[in-house]
Amino acid sequence: MAVVEVKVPDIGDFKDVAVIEVLVKPGDTIKAEQSLITVESDKASMEIPSSHAGGVRELKVALGDTVSEGSVVLLLETQGAAAAPREAPAAVPAAVPAAPASAPVVSAPTPAAGRVEVLVPDIGDFRDVAVIEIFVKPGDAIQVEQSLITVESDKASMEIPSSHAGVVKELKVKLGDKVSQGSPIAVLEGAAGAATAPPAAPVATPAAAEAQPPAVPSAPVPAPMPPHQPAAAKGTLPHASPSVRKFARELGVPLDEVTGSGSKGRITQEDVQRFVKGVMSGATQTEAQKAKAPTQVAAGGALPGLLPWPQVDYAKFGEVERTDLSRIKKISGANLHRNWVMIPHVTNHDDADITELEAFRVQLNKEYDKSGIKVTMLAFLIKASVAALKRFPEFNASLDGDQLVLKKYFHIGFAADTPNGLVVPVIKDADKKGILAISLEMSELAKKAREGKLGPAEMTGGCFSISSLGGIGGRYFTPIINAPEVAIMGVCRSSTEPRWDGKQFTPRLILPLSLSWDHRVIDGAAAARFNAYFVQILADFRRVML
């Protein structure tokens, strides 16, 4: 056993660069070539691999530290003869992306006066590297040194800046193209003096002094780089260009919580903006916010002003058994709790006379007996919901800050009881489907739900939900609104009851309904009208066509 100091290798012109990610921790066993830290300059980021295999004894860098060639990254405990520290580990230079992106861009004058073709400069060992971001488009006026594209190799990404100011006339690259030194990036027009400037002359800006092409490591790359190995403790590393990382840092956005929409999950500036928007609107929570969220009450925390959850030793009173909550129960529980706490719920109960509708349903089931389709009451309730949502659009809405988002589509969710807990599959565009199609789709979705095979797309986008306990029993209940929807219809078991028809009591099939609604959006009169209309439709389903 020996202890090796793993140092930052020759990383070209990268000097005093910030450590933005530490990918290993004391106790980790690492392989030679495994990435240890990511460093970042203004324009490029790169991962620094280990020269040796071994166990991490001590980290010598922390996030935010600045390092240069020779800085000690960590102490590694290694086995056997290979343990002796090596001055310039052979494997390391392979990781060195050569050029800082502020290197001057060689440009070629084009025949047209005032036009210049901006080329990829000397970027050291970067060859045939993929274009992963394009920051400009034809018509854009750009400045000298403004980033044009980001290129990426296995280990590092860098932005390529423009050598000239001007207006982008034509782009010569597209996403996914492979470029090397000399590849054309764009044609600029109106580049003052650009056409006459000697192609290799450094751009006359204050940045020019440090904008020299970097010292390219002379050692040839010995081997292809191993694939990126994320730190076990941190999970997958966020994949983003330096400018996006910088942008996220400025806004305090935790990049590892942002979902990337770029190729291979790369995080773009738009993704960061979307994340911020989500957090500001309350639609997204950061991990830090979640840790403080009231939904943690059940785990032993307490809402401000409320008593803490009682801690009871149940075994003192008798035999007990503990089981873990299912994944679905944990997720739906947290959602239901938030909705219950945050939405001012009111529930209106009503009764619908479904005597004729049930007779029609039974008749249809006889007719379609051999087709494999079972016409369910729930399908009629979905269709009735669509009609009521059309009549009362504020029920087909969501709150977004001070605005109401009124939906012009009709996607209806239905609560399904599964062995693992409650899920709400959604019938999309229920307004465009008939009772048979809805019945068929519902039974397929309910089957998938029970088998735990529903995909996220089948459970999102709902406008209004129905929770039917009709197959089980009960009279009325108070369903919890499935936010960001603003209302939900609860349905219980129908039963035959005497109803006065003006002359006598007659037996009628009565369906109990319980409509919960968000009092921030809907008021009591509207809810009563919604229910009255719903009841009217169920009593005479021909009205659905009106």
Residues of this chain that interact with ligand CAO (CB under 6 A) are 376-378, 414-417, 422, 446, 467-471, 479, 491, 493-494, 511
How is residue 192 written in tokens?
A: 């003052």
Residue nearest to ligand CAO (CB): 470
Which SS3 state, helix, strand or coil, does residue 3 take?
strand
Q: Which is nearer to ligand CAO, 152 or 518 (CB)?
A: 518
Q: How far is the CB of 376 from ligand CAO (least distance, A)?
A: 4
Rounded Cα distance between 35 and 32, Å, is 9
Compare residues 5 and 417 and give the one whose CB is closer to ligand CAO: 417
**Residue 349 appears among annotated catalytic residues:** no
User: Hey, is 329 helix, strand or coil?
Assistant: helix
CA angle centred on 535, ends 529 and 540, rounded to 5°: 125
Give the residues across from 468 on adjacent strands. 491
Structure tokens belonging to residue 315 = 């075994």
Strands (E), 65-219: 66-67, 72-78, 107-109, 115-119, 129-134, 141-142, 147-152, 156-161, 166-171, 178-179, 184-189
Distances (CA, A) of 237 to 37, 38, 103, 268, 327: 11, 10, 27, 14, 25
CB of 52 to ligand CAO, least distance (A): 57
CA dihedral sign, ordered 91, 95, 100, 103: positive
**Residue 445 C-beta: closest distance to ligand CAO, Å:** 8
Shortest distance in whole angstroms from residue 455 CB to ligand CAO: 17
Strands 17-22 and 66-67: antiparallel
- Residue 76 exposed, middle or buried by CB count within 10 Å (0-12, 13-18, 19+): buried
Mapping DSSP onto H, E and C, the string for 426-456 reads EECCHHHCCHHHHHHHHHHHHHHHHCCCCCH
Q: How far is the CB of 512 from ligand CAO (least distance, A)?
A: 8
Q: What is the dihedral of CA 159, 162, 165, 171, to 10 degrees?
A: -90
94 three-class SS: helix
Distance CA 438, CA 411 (A): 11
Cβ closest to ligand CAO, residue 172 vs residue 448: 448
Residue 21 structure tokens: 């990610």
Residue closer to ligand CAO by CB (options 59, 336) is 336
Question: Which is the catalytic residue, given 228, 239, 337, 519?
Answer: 519
Query: Considering the complex, what minimum distance in angstroms separates the CB of residue 272 from ligand CAO?
Result: 37
- For ligand CAO, the closer CB: 286 or 443: 443
Phi and psi at 398, nearest 5°, equal -140, 145
Q: Identity (one letter) of the amino acid at 158?
A: M
Q: Indicate the residue among 20 and 422 with the shorter CB distance to ligand CAO.
A: 422
SS3 90: coil
**63 or 298: CB nearest ligand CAO:** 298
Closest distance to ligand CAO from the beta carbon of 409 (Å): 22
Helix (H, G, I), strand (E, B) or coil at 399: strand
Give least dist CB 333 to ligand CAO, A.
11
Q: Sheet of 29-30: strands edge to edge?
A: 2-7, 72-78, 54-59, 29-30
Q: Which two tokens stand for residue 491?
A: 């349905």
Residue 494 CB, shortest distance to ligand CAO, in Å, is 4
Nearer to ligand CAO, 65 or 358 (CB): 358
Rank residues 98 and 357 by Cβ distance to ligand CAO and give the closer one: 357
Q: 163, 104 in Cβ contact below 8 A?
A: yes
Beta-ladder partners of 151:
131, 158
Q: Which residues are catalytic?
A: 519
